[in-house]
Structure 1
Amino acid sequence: MSPPSRVRVQRHPVHGVLLLDKPLGLSSNQALQKAKWLLRAEKAGHTGTLDPLATGVLPLCFGSATKFSQLHLQADKCYETVVRLGRVTSTGDAEGEVLREQAVNCTAGQVVEVLDRFMGPITQVPPMHSALKKDGKALYEYAREGVEVERAPRAVVIHDLDLLDMDLTGEAPFLRLAVRCSKGTYIRTLGEDIGAALGCGGHLAALRRTETGPFGLAQCLTLQALEAMTEAQRLACLMPAEVLVAGHAPVTLGADDAARFLSGLRRRGDWADAPAVAVFGEQPRAFLGTAHAKAGELIPGRLLSPIEIQQTLLQNNPSSSLETSQEALTS
């Protein structure tokens, strides 16, 4: 008997940003691949990983939006986390082997005092169980081989560190914290360092990302909700690629300038100097890409192709005719 044939998914161009509430137990890439399959998308990426034991806001980029996903890595992040006190693990989280257990003898006042020490600019040594690379190899790969490599401390900023709840005397003492931090902050390391400063050690028992840049949990969809939708409903949930450059100064170009800008030519105008500019076409209204403005010149950065713009316009308005927009963008 011949094996059953696999159903081949017909993929097509999809453009935009989907805000996913990543579930527990899936890696960021696994969550991305599920969403990509549901949308039948040709090209997809995400804007920074969440560990399998972490949940919460994970922006997924499709098509032309992947060109700007790196910009979002610079964004501040917000988390809610539970630090289990009195127990140190090999990975700094609940998945690791327990290395030692210690009594928790600190007071509430000492907790507040220690948390204050971690406010503002701090340095962290990246954990071995992380995707950071050393000589082209991820640290977690060294860790799986039982090899520990030297890691240089990193400067990060803890903007806010709020104590939401705590239990210092129960069978499983813990701190529940809300953290707002700069890019590159390892919450797992923060939890370990707080436990060490309290003299009892600790590890991360739970982690949920509640915000990343301008995006929050209220805007996110679960995979279960996405699965229950029709394909048209899923496409309607996509946000335009320009949400990734919301902090850029906006510039709108007429049809002639837009076409030349898309071909990589600088444009002259009365624009103020700006390091980050989001450029739009006027007719039709469309996001063209990024640039910077200097000395009256608009200098192209990352650009969408005319076909990506046409596909995005059609995706957002399937009943429209794109003949006019095709002429405007390629003339």
Structure 2
Amino acid sequence: MQGFLNLNKPFGWTSHDCVAKTRKLLRLKRVGHAGTLDPAATGVLPIAVGKATRLLQYLPGEKAYKATIRLGVRTTTDDLEGEIIASQPCTGLSLDAVKSALQQFVGKIEQIPPIYSAIQVQGKRLYDLARKGEDVEVPVRTVEVFEIEILDWREEEFPELDVAIACGAGTYIRAIARDLGTILETGGTLAALIRTQSSGFHLTDSITLTDLEARVQAGTFQPTPPDAALQHLPFITLSATQAQKWCQGQRICVTLNVVEILRVYDEDGRFLGIAKLVNLDKQQLLIPEMVFEPI
């Protein structure tokens, strides 16, 4: 079995927990995931099974979320899972002020990830260092936010803002909540998070672990075909002779006007793998990056 699973991650589970459960249900060792979700977050968690784990690096990076931001509160983890370190009611805060501040987060921005995150510094996870109480300088990262849409605004002692966020890979919504509170001088933290889209997979098409277990027991589960998740990449179809040589690791001379990473198929429409197109000595060469189905 090989392909992808569009999992709706449950609240309280780590991404690793979901991989372990999937591995147990499918009785497969080769299971991996794309785009880690925090335990308190729910929603789309793409999971690869079998040889498709080698394709995770080629999935598109765009993601989308629905988030609830609570203002007037700061926590150690930048979400409600952490310890409250500051709290101040801000009943006088206006939606217009919030809208103005949010504009600063659209486009390419510099972001400091939460101290409790899976980013590695000197070979160690930030959350491990934070739990040990070690002081560490969190590296600033450039991320891209394509759009932020306000969905709801609740004027309370600690106002809450519901937003839809479309962004690129590596963007921390917790950091946006924290930094929004900093700009407004109120403090802010993430109160809830649902990932509605990730790496080409959508929440409306996702299944739960309960659904997966039921389908496995009924013998009806079929993963999404490996190349179905790679439709953002251009493709090339090779002749039988070319396909055999390419699958054996040989370079194929071609003439194309496309980006450098492509899906490769044979004449029967069988997905063979991923190739890299390079220019060398005035020639275009199709070089195997990952042979998925050798001939």
Instruction: Decide: shared fold, TM above 0.5.
Output: yes
Q: 1:272 aligns with which of 249, 257, 268?
A: 257
Q: What amino acid sits opposite 1:304 in the alignment?
A: F
Specify the code of the residue in structure 1 equivalent to 2:228: V
Return the alpha-carbon distance in structure 1 between the equivalents of residues 242 and 162 of structure 2: 53
Q: Secondary structure at the match of 1:218?
A: helix
Match of 1:217 among 203, 221, 243: 203
Question: What is the aligned counterpart of 1:286 among 253, 270, 281?
Answer: 270
Query: Cα deviations across residues 199-249 of structure 1 (Å, max 9, x unaligned)?
Result: 110111101100113211111101111122245312x2x111113322221
Within the alignment, does 1:255 sit opposite 2:243 as a pair? Answer: no
2:50 corresponding residue in structure 1: 63
1:90 to 56, 65, 76: 76
Aligned-residue identity in percent: 37
Shift of 1:305: 4.8
1:85–1:172 CA contact under 8 A, matched in 2: yes
2:109 corresponds in structure 1 to 122
Counterpart secondary structure, 1:178: strand
Deviation at 1:273, TM superposition (A): 4.9
Code of the residue aligned with 1:192 in structure 2: it is R
Q: Give the Cα–Cα distance (whole angstroms) in 2 for the partners of residues 70 and 244 of structure 1.
A: 11
One-letter amino acid of the counterpart of residue 95, structure 1: E
Q: How far 1:269 sits from its partner (Å)?
A: 3.0
Alpha carbons 1:68, 1:244 under 8 Å: kept: no
Map Cα deviations across residues 138-175 of structure 1 (whole Å, 9 max, x no partner): 0000110112301221111111011111112x244211
Structure-2 separation of matches of 1:257 and 1:117: 51
* Equivalent residues of 1:272, 1:296 under 8 A apart: no
Structure 1 Cα separation of the partners of residues 228 and 134 of structure 2: 41
State how far apart, in whole Å, the 2-side matches of 1:269 and 1:145 are. 55
Which residue in 2 is equivalent to 1:304? 292
Once residues 270 and 122 of structure 1 are traced to their aligned partners in structure 2, the CA distance between those partners, rounded to angstroms, is 38
**Once the 2 structures are TM-superposed, how far is the Cα of residue 268 of structure 1 from its aligned partner?**
2.0
CA distances 1:89-138 after superposition (whole Å, capped 9, x unpaired): 11111111111111213211111111112211211111110000011100
- Partner of 1:146: helix, strand, or coil? coil
Gaps of 5+ in 2: none
Aligned with 2:220: secondary structure? helix
Partner of 2:130: 143
State which drifts further: 293-302 or 52-61.
293-302
**SS state at 1:59 partner:** strand
Question: Cα distance, 1:274 vs. partner?
Answer: 3.1
Q: Which runs of 4+ in 1 moved over 4 A?
A: none
Partner-residue secondary structure (3-state), 1:106 = coil
| Contact map agreement 2:35 2:198 (CA 8 A) in 1 | no
Which whole-Å CA distance do the structure 2 matches of 1:214 and 1:46 have between them?
Answer: 13
Which one has a bigger Cα radius of gyration? 1
Other-structure match for 1:10: none
- Give the direction of change, closer, same or farther, for the CA distance of 1:273–1:177 in structure 2 (3 Å limit): closer
Aligned to 1:241: 226
Amino acid at match of 2:270: A
Q: 2:62 aligns with which of 60, 72, 76?
A: 76
Kept after mapping to 2: 8 A contact 1:76/1:182: yes
Judge conservation of contact 2:25–2:213 (CA < 8 Å) in 1: yes
**TM-score of the aligned structures, taking structure 1 as reference length:** 0.84
- Counterpart for residue 176 of structure 1: 162
Contact 1:271 1:297 (8 Å CA) reproduced? no
Contact 2:22 2:31 in 1 (8 A): no
User: How much is the aligned-residue C-alpha RMSD, in angstroms?
Assistant: 1.5
Letter in 2 for 1:290: I
Q: Distance in 2 between matches of 1:54 and 1:273?
A: 37
Q: How many residues align?
A: 289
Which amino acid is the alignment partner of residue 37 of structure 2? L
Deviation at 1:297, TM superposition (A): 2.3
The 2-side partners of 1:296 and 1:97 are apart by 57
